[in-house]
Chain A
Amino acid sequence: MKTKSDDSVIRATDLTKRFGEIVAVDGVSFQVKKGETYGLLGPNGAGKTTTMRMISGLSPLTAGKLTVAGIDVTSQAREVRNVLGVVTQEDGLDTDLDAKSNLIVYGYTAGLSRADAEKRADAVLMFFDLTDKAHEEIDYLSGGMKRRLAIARAFMTSPRVIVLDEPTTGLDPQGRNRVWQELETMKQGGVTILMSTHYMDEAAALCDRLAIMHHGRILAEGTPDELVNRHAGSEVAQVRVSNGVRRDVVDWIGDAGFDYRDAGAVITVTSRNGARPDLSGLAGVRVSYRPSNLEDVFLTMAGRGLTDDE
C-alpha cells in the first residue's frame, strides 16, 4: 500500500465547499493512484457529487488544494477537463440529436477533428455494444443504454482518468451489470476511475479503495476488505429480542462496548479489527452470525458520526 507521490493522479487536500451557510464538503483529503478505481461511498447529501464536480473543474473550491494529473484545478479548470472524462450524475444527453451525433458533437467540441470524432464514435459505440442504436432517438433508449451512452461520450477523447458520478443509480439489475462489466474492462485497460456510489455492493465489486463519506467528511478510507475488517469485524451478530427484554439487552451490548444498530426486531452488533462480537454472556436471546459487509461499516460509522455531532 506504499505510494510514491508521483503515481497519484488525483490529489485532494482539505477540499472544502460551502454554499452560503451550508458546508457541503468539509475538508476532505484523499489521493487516487494511477490505474486504480477509487470510490466515494455515502448516502445522498454526503458531499460526493460536490467533490466530483470540484475535481471536474465544474465547481470552484471554497478552500483546499486539488490537482489532477499534476494540473491545479483552481487555476486551470479548463486544462483539467482536457485530461479527464467526466460523467455527470444526470446523463446530460442531447435529445435533439441521435446517439451517435451526441458522441460526435462532444468529441469535436472536446478537440477531435470531425473525421476523428466520427471514427472514434463508431469505435466507442462498438465497445459499448450500442452500434445498432447509433441513429436512435435518445428518448427511445432504455435507462441503461442512456447511461452507457453517457459513459461512452466521456470516452470519446480516450481519457486516462474518468470521473463517474453514480454510474448505476436508477438502473435495473441487468443495466447495472452491463455498466459494471464495461467499467471492469476499462479498468483492465489501465484507466484510472474515480466514482461515487451509494450502493455498497457496487463499491465492494468495483473499487480498489474507498472513502466512506458522511456529512461532507471522510469517515474512513481503505480497501473494501480492510474497511470491513477494521470497522465491522469478521462477522456481525444479529440479535432477536422480544420487547420485554429489549432495554436490558441494549444496555448490556452498550456496556460491553460494542457498536450496534437497533432496527426493530433485530439488533445488529458489530465488532472491530477482524473480531466477531462475543455475546456469550447475553442470556435469553437468539443470536445468529453473518459475514460483515460494507453496509455494516457505513451504518456503524454513520451512527457513531451522528453521536459525535450531537
Chain B
Amino acid sequence: MMAATASTYIAGVRLRSIAGIWYRHFLVLRRNLLTSISWYFVEPFVILVAIGIGVGTLVNDVQGVPYARFITPGVIVGSAMFHAVFECAWGGFMRIQKGVYETTLTAPVSTREVAMGDIFWSMTRTIVTAVCIGTVAAAFGWIDNLSGVGVLLPAALVGVQFGALGLIFAALSPNVHILSLTFTVVASPLYFLSGAFFPISSMPDWVEPLAWAAPLTPSVHLARGFVTGDLAMSHLFAGLYVVAWIAVLFPIAATLLHRRLVK
C-alpha cells in the first residue's frame, strides 16, 4: 500500500488516497498504542475469559463443545463488529464534525476514496483484533486446529461490512445522540442475535429466520466453521451473504458521505 505512487489509479480509484487515509489511521494507532491495547486485547480477553469460563461453569457443553470454545468465534467476530462500528460510525462522525474529511478532500481525493480508505482501515482493525483474541483463545486451547486461522476471513468481511454501515450512520446522524443508536439499537442487539452466545436453534421459532437474516449472524456461522474445522456449503453461502451486504452497503455509504461533505 505504502508504495502506491501518486498517480496510480485502478478503475478511477486513486490508490494514494486510500494509502494516505490508511497511513493516517496507522499513525493514530501508533500514537495511542497503549490505550489501543485495551481495545484490541484487554476488553475481548475479559469477555472471552469471564463469560467463557464464568458462564461456562454454569452451562453444559453447547453443540458438543465447552462453552468457552463455543463462544470463541462469536466473540472474535462480534469484537470485529464493534471495532468497525466504532471506527467508522463514531470516528467517521468526529472526522465529519472536525473537518478532517474536508481537509482530506482538499488533496486530490474523492469522497468515494475517503469511504474506501476508512473502510480499509476498519478491515485492518478487525483483522488485528481477531489475531489478538484468536491468540488468547488458542493459548487456552479453544482454537486448536489450523483451520482456525480462517476466522480472519469473517473478521475482515465484518470490518468492511460494518465499516460501510458505520459510515452510513456517521453520514446520516445530525448529532452524537442519534449516532449513539448505532451501538444501542444496532450493534448490541445484532451481537446477541448472531448466535455468538447461544445457538440460534434455541431461539423462539419466530426469531430464528430473523436471526439468520441479521447481518452479523452469517459471519459468526462462518467463523465457527473455521474454528471447528467443520466446513460445509452453508459456510460458503454465509460468506456470499456478507459479500452481498457489502455490495449493497458500500455504494450507499459512499453516496451519503458525498452528500454530507460536498454541497
Contact = CB atoms under 8 A, between A and B. Distances in A.
Nearest to A79: B108
Nearest to A98: B31
Contacts of A157: 107
B104 A109 contact: yes
Nearest to A59: B263
A86 B106 contact: yes
A109 B20 contact: yes
Contacts of A112: 6
A286 interface: no
B106 A88 contact: yes
B28 A97 contact: yes
A216 to B, nearest CB: 15
Chain A CB within 10 Å, residue with most, of B21, B27, B109: B27
Interface string B3-22: 00011000000101101110
A111 interface: yes
A4 to B, nearest CB: 29
Interface string B76-117: 000000000000000000010011101111111110000000
B16 A97 contact: no
How large, as a class, is the contact surface on chain B? 20 to 34
Contact of B102 (A78, A85, A90, A96): A90
Interface stretch (A100-108, A247-255, A287-295): A100-108
B99 A58 contact: no
A106 B105 CA distance: 10
Contacts of B109: 78, 81, 109
A111 B108 contact: yes
A110 to B, nearest CB: 4
Contacts of B185: none
B24 interface: yes
A92 interface: yes
B27 A81 contact: no
Contact of B262 (A58, A78, A82, A97): A58
A157 B108 CA distance: 11
A109 B105 CA distance: 10
Contact of A92 (B7, B31, B32, B100): B100
Interface string A110-126: 11101000000000000
B232 interface: no
A79 B110 CA distance: 11
B183 interface: no
B71 to A, nearest CB: 33
Contacts of B263: 19, 59
Given A78-B110, A86-B106, 18 more contacts: A59-B263, A81-B109, A85-B106, A88-B99, A88-B102, A88-B103, A90-B99, A94-B95, A95-B98, A97-B27, A105-B20, A105-B23, A105-B27, A108-B20, A108-B23, A110-B108, A111-B107, A114-B23
20 contacts: A19-B263, A58-B106, A78-B108, A79-B108, A81-B105, A81-B106, A88-B99, A90-B99, A93-B103, A94-B24, A94-B98, A94-B103, A96-B32, A97-B27, A98-B31, A104-B27, A108-B16, A109-B16, A109-B23, A109-B24
Interface of A: 19, 56, 58-60, 78-79, 81-82, 84-86, 88, 90-98, 101, 104-106, 108-112, 114, 153-154, 157
